[in-house]
Structure 1
Amino acid sequence: MLPIVIKAIFFDLDGTLIHMNMKEFLDQYVKALVRSMKRVMPQDQVQQAIQRAITALMTKTNSTKTNQETFMEHFLQGTKHSQQDLLFAFNNFYNNEYKGLRAYTKPHPVAKEVVHQLAGWGYRLILATNPLYPRHAILERMKWAGVDNAPWELITTYEDYHYCKPNPGFFAELLAKIGLDGAQALMVGNNTNEDLSASALGIRTYLATDNLIDRGNSAYKPDFKGKLSDLPACLTQI
């Protein structure tokens, strides 16, 4: 029997296509958001609301609400603010202070070359970042990475998706949107828990080791492993 041909490449963004220390970046992200939101609510309430909303996203198990709806619902718990107030404040943050977080990232030297090379080979490109953020925030980070002009078929954002990695529902939703079986896709990422969970849907995985995050408790092993620069050569052997 001939092997099933891979038709789509799912790329993680943070730590895979762009260099960053995730802990440092998230710490600075929260600090910047707290400073920006202080015009709307006290800083201690903002910190609690962020933690509450992110926890709700990472642990949700149903698809009745988008990630944006879940985030807003839990962020606003116990406050007198409307969702419209919050959206206005978030838009202001992402259009201003958020852009300063670029200082905590660095473009991966081969990311642009690799994604364009694979597109040229006919692979469907899917930006499969964890959909914890609004679209304009993810597009901004793609710009920092230098991959914003690649021919992405889909970009995962919290407005359009209902689960987060490592929930297999995230990958099931992706496969349904592009009309492929798991065996026809390859997930490329640097996080052994979040990205390798694609294996639950029969998606083969490539663990990018450039900015490896491995807490030693993943239930899955990668099918392939190497630097991002090694990915094209790996695909010629599959």
Structure 2
Amino acid sequence: MIKAVLFDLDDTLIDINLGAFMARYLAGQARILSRVLRVAPPFAYLAVVEGYLRIDSFSRTDDLTSERLFFQTVCRRVGRPLDLDVLAEPLAYYDAEYIDRFRGGIVQAGPRAGSHEAIEAARSLGLEVALATNPVFSLAVDRTRMRWGEIDPAVFAGVSHWANSRRSKPCARYYQEFVSSLGLVPQECLMVGNDAGRDFPRPAIGMPTAYVGHGRPGRGVFRGSLLELAHRLPELVVSLNEREGRGAGGQASPSRPTDSYHDRTRR
């Protein structure tokens, strides 16, 4: 039975040019690390890029939080001892205060149509809502982006970020550990996201995904806009619960039940 709705953030609940934001964020982060660790800016930037590649790697075998792995990688790459206390204050200011000025210009971050309606639709059904954003930033960066989208952090039962995650999307372990932190299992959660490559757990773990992007992934239990999802969510939840009930009763569940559901809602 569906008990929670997990929402992606970037280009799902908020509008943002994520590539432009990442470019600005990494460049600024590298400048700070260059000054604090006393290394040339190009070396600091390469170390930062390597850090993000490591935490986003699907072949990770470590058991570190992504935050720990990132800084461990950066410091080793530039030949400096790992000292998070030295790095904490400047990076905390950068994440919580400085990056707010990135909102305009090429980043173009702001509220997304249907985001509040989708969140409230889930809550009106008595479902928990949680923010399952790709955990490659600090909680402060997540909160800044929520603010750009006029999203109240208090509505979420949990928020994933690099200090509480050991994998990133689409790794199944990320999703399993996040839903476990909510006291749930994947089959009890509906994921809502716009990225066909990241918002579907890999390998599949029985967690349905409502797709609100521009593609047409065959695996989605819903395809449409966020506002359409808000209107159709009660019926979708009933459909998913009925499918789970049929499966639990020993009857074969249809392989693509919500393609037919989606087609029906779009007629």
Shorter-chain TM-score above 0.5: yes
Hey, what does 1:26 align to over in structure 2?
A: 22
Hey, what does 2:232 align to over in structure 1?
A: 234
- Kindly report which structure 2 residues correspond to 1:5-84, keeping only aligned pairs within 5 A, or say none: 5-40=1-36, 41-59=39-57, 61-62=60-61, 64-77=63-76, 78-80=78-80, 82-84=83-85
CA distance in 2, matches of 1:62, 1:176: 20
Hey, what does 1:91 align to over in structure 2?
A: 92
Give the C-alpha shift of residue 201 in structure 1. Answer: 1.1
Query: Could you give the per-residue CA deviations for residues 52-105 of structure 1, whole angstroms, max 9, x where no partner exists?
Result: 111110115346211111111111113325332222331132233311112221
Q: Which amino acid aligns with 2:100?
A: K
Hey, what does 1:164 align to over in structure 2?
A: 168
- Kindly report which structure 2 residues correspond to 1:129-148, keeping only aligned pairs within 5 A, or say none: 129-148=133-152
Q: Does structure 2 retain, via aligned residues, the 8 Å contact 1:134–1:159?
A: yes
Query: Could you give the per-residue CA deviations for residues 111-158 of structure 1, whole angstroms, max 9, x where no partner exists?
Result: 123212321221110100011111111111111111124521000011
- Give 3-state SS (helix, strand or coil) of 1:164's partner: coil
Hey, what does 1:108 align to over in structure 2?
A: 112
Unpaired segments of 5 or more residues in structure 1? none
Matched residue count: 228
Hey, what does 1:223 align to over in structure 2?
A: 221
Q: Which amino acid aligns with 1:91?
A: A
Question: What is the alpha-carbon root mean square deviation over aligned residues?
Answer: 2.1
Identity %: 23
Q: Which amino acid aligns with 1:47?
A: Y
Q: Does structure 2 retain, via aligned residues, the 8 Å contact 1:206–1:223?
A: yes
- Give 3-state SS (helix, strand or coil) of 1:201's partner: coil
1:200 corresponds to 2:196: no
Q: Does structure 2 retain, via aligned residues, the 8 Å contact 1:168–1:200?
A: yes
Q: Does structure 2 retain, via aligned residues, the 8 Å contact 1:36–1:97?
A: no
Q: Does structure 1 retain, via aligned residues, the 8 Å contact 2:125–2:234?
A: no
CA distance in 2, matches of 1:63, 1:154: 24
Length-normalised TM-score, structure 1: 0.87
CA distance in 1, matches of 2:150, 2:75: 34
* Larger-Rg structure: 2
CA distance in 2, matches of 1:33, 1:160: 20
CA distance in 2, matches of 1:162, 1:143: 25
CA distance in 2, matches of 1:170, 1:67: 11
Unpaired segments of 5 or more residues in structure 2? 237-267
Length-normalised TM-score, structure 2: 0.78
Q: Does structure 2 retain, via aligned residues, the 8 Å contact 1:115–1:147?
A: no
CA distance in 1, matches of 2:169, 2:136: 10
- Give 3-state SS (helix, strand or coil) of 1:26's partner: helix
